Structure 1
Amino acid sequence: MSATASPKVSVIVPVHNTAPWLDRCVESVRAQTLRDIEIILVENRSTDASPELCDAYPAADARIRVLHLAEAGLSRARNAGLAVATAPYVGFVDSDDYIEPDMFRRLYDAAVESGAQIAYGDLIYEEEGTPQPAEPAGPVTVRTPDEVLCDLLLERISASACTKLFDRTLFEGLQFPLDVWFEDHRVVHEWVARCRRIAYVEKVCYHYVQRDGSICHSFSAPKHYHFFLANFERFEFVRRQRLFEGRTEQDAICDKLVRNCLYNFREAMRRRHASDFAEAVADMRRKLARMYEVKAQLPPATRKRLRRVVKHYGWYYLTHFVFRKKR
Structure 2
Amino acid sequence: MTLLTPATPPATALQPTRARTATPRRFLMCPPVHFDVVYAINPWMDVTVPVDAGHAVVQWQALKAAYESRGHIVDVISPVPGLPDMVYAANGGIVVGGKALAARFTHPERQPEGTAYESWLNASGPARGVTSLGQAAERNEGEGDLLWDGEVMLAGTGFRTTRAAHAEVAARLDVEVVTLELVDPRFYHLDTALAVLSPAGTRSDGGTRAEIAFFPEAFTPESQAVLRERYPDAIEATEEDAVVLGLNAVSDGRHVFLSDRATGMHASLRGRGFEPVGIDLSELLKGGGSVKCCTLELRPAPSPTVPQSAKEARA
Q: TM exceeds 0.5?
A: no
State the TM-score, normalized to the length of structure 2. 0.25
State the TM-score, normalized to the length of structure 1. 0.25
Question: Going by fraction, where is helix more abundant, 1 or 2?
Answer: 1
Question: 1 or 2 for the larger relative contact order (CA 8 Å, sep ≥6)?
Answer: 2
